Copies of this chain bind each other. A is one copy, B any other.
Amino acid sequence: MAGPLDGLRVLDLSSVVVGPVCTGVLAEQGAEIIKLESPEGDLLRKLGGKGRNPGMAGKFLNFNRGKRSICLDLKHPRAKDVLRRIALRCDILVTNIRPDAQKRLGVDAATMAEAAPRLIHCSIVGFGTDGPYAGKPAYDTVIQGVSGVAGCFEASTGEPRYVPMLVADHVCGLIAAQQIGFALYRREKTGRGESLEIPMFENMAGFVLQEHLGAMSFRPALGVPGDLRVLSPEARPLKTQDGYICVSANTDAQAHGFFDAIGRPELKTDPRFATVTARTANTKDYFALRATALTGRPTAEWLDLFTRYDVPAMPYNTIESLLTDPHLRATGMVREEEHPTEGPTFAIGAPNKLSGGMAPPLPAAPRLGADGPAILEAAGFSADEITELAQHGALKTTTGETP
């Protein structure tokens, strides 16, 4: 059994999060990923916090499982040709290098399409090249701010903030992989590759608008924008006697079950709370009522009660407690692993199940340049050429040590 992308080769000219998420998904489904890094290495190697060795931060490990690393100095005159020879052997090229820099390296979509008509060239950009923000530099927080993600918090609490995750990078990386899948399907039909442009701003603005344009979808607007239930500042896990619990009671049956569970059956016929429409109109009161309803019992008791009344409810997890969550352990989403160079670590598994076959669990993330010679050999470079490239400094090879 192999993953659906088994046999495909991907050149990953990306760094930090958005590109690595995309190629991480492709790896998880069986593709071979050639991660090309500069001599400084992917910035996440350092920016990703603590590690046992320099350049091997925990966050880097978790975004780069199942990839092979080659380290080329693209400023070296011979590296451009090496890059191109590798690229020509690939099915997919993923990059978040800015379009003008892609051109300088000779790996932009137009140049590659001529030489490799079956290549799927995926360029992740901050802003679409067909609009006035084209070419502006972009990072996750900039995108969160300009796309309205931070604006959702202002609509909720009066103060803008970013989601405490690289949500724009992460989501757009997932979308890039998604669009690559569609292009692969089309390539089977047409025999031809194509170029994809994934603009982060447009994707995240679309995400926010779908969620929250709401009453402002109409011209003239029927009211303020925003799904008021979702924007409620009380949209949070509910306090119990000994912690928090996560409850969702949307349908009438669930809301009525909740009222029964908390010993307030009279609310089932209260005109403010009896129906979906009424609760939506009285979101503030409904959420306020819920916020204080559960402090009298511990979480475990509430979980039992809500199960009995068929109200969706689950324990609240911190980042730490995910590691001991019984479901994540049982499904292999969290497992213990011996990293070949970094020692004992936790490994994060593949979440989705495909009956047609899945790739085996992925090997751990590589040190900078660890696979360079092997990648070049597979690309048809002779042993002499590889040695020469290393001697000239175009190819950086590791000797077990990190930069």
Contact = CB atoms under 8 A, between A and B. Distances in A.
B164 A231 contact: yes
Interface residues of A, number: 160
A379 interface: no
Interface in A149-190: 149-156, 159-167, 170-171, 174-175, 177-186, 188-190
A164 B230 contact: yes
Contacts of A231: 164
A314 B136 contact: yes
Nearest to A320: B225
Q: Is the interface of A mostly helix, strand, loop or mixed?
A: mixed
Contacts of A355: 109, 194-196
A236 B310 CA distance: 38
Contacts of A216: 58, 319-320, 323, 346
Interface in A1-55: 3-5, 21, 25, 29, 43, 46-52
A68 interface: no
Contacts of A127: 327
Interface string A324-341: 011110110110100000
A315 interface: yes
A188 B325 CA distance: 38
A137 interface: yes
A372 to B, nearest CB: 24
Interface stretch (A80-88, A206-214, A385-393): A206-214
A323 to B, nearest CB: 7
A111 interface: no
Contacts of A62: 209-210, 213, 217
Interface stretch (A69-77, A243-251, A259-267): A243-251
A145 B316 contact: yes
Interface string A124-141: 000110111100111111
Nearest to A232: B164
Given A159-B236, A317-B151, A356 B194 contact: yes
Interface in A96-147: 109, 127-128, 130-133, 136-147
Interface string A263-276: 00000000000001
Contacts of A289: none
A198 interface: yes
A230 B166 contact: yes
Contacts of A361: none
Contact of A170 (B43, B211, B219, B244): B211
Contacts of A188: 185, 188-189
A316 B225 CA distance: 17
A205 interface: yes
A14 B248 CA distance: 18
A10 B230 CA distance: 29
A185 B5 contact: yes
A400 interface: no
Contacts of A159: 236
Given A58-B222, A59-B214, A207-B165, A182 B181 contact: yes
Given A235-B162, A236-B162, A310 B137 contact: yes
Nearest to A163: B163
Given A171-B174, A183-B356, A205-B351, 18 more contacts: A58-B213, A58-B215, A58-B217, A128-B327, A131-B327, A139-B312, A142-B247, A151-B316, A165-B211, A179-B354, A196-B354, A196-B355, A202-B328, A202-B349, A205-B325, A205-B328, A218-B343, A219-B344
10 contacts: A5-B185, A48-B214, A59-B211, A59-B213, A147-B322, A155-B164, A161-B236, A174-B175, A180-B181, A218-B344
Top 4 A-B pairs, shortest CB-CB distance: A181-B181, A145-B246, A194-B356, A139-B248
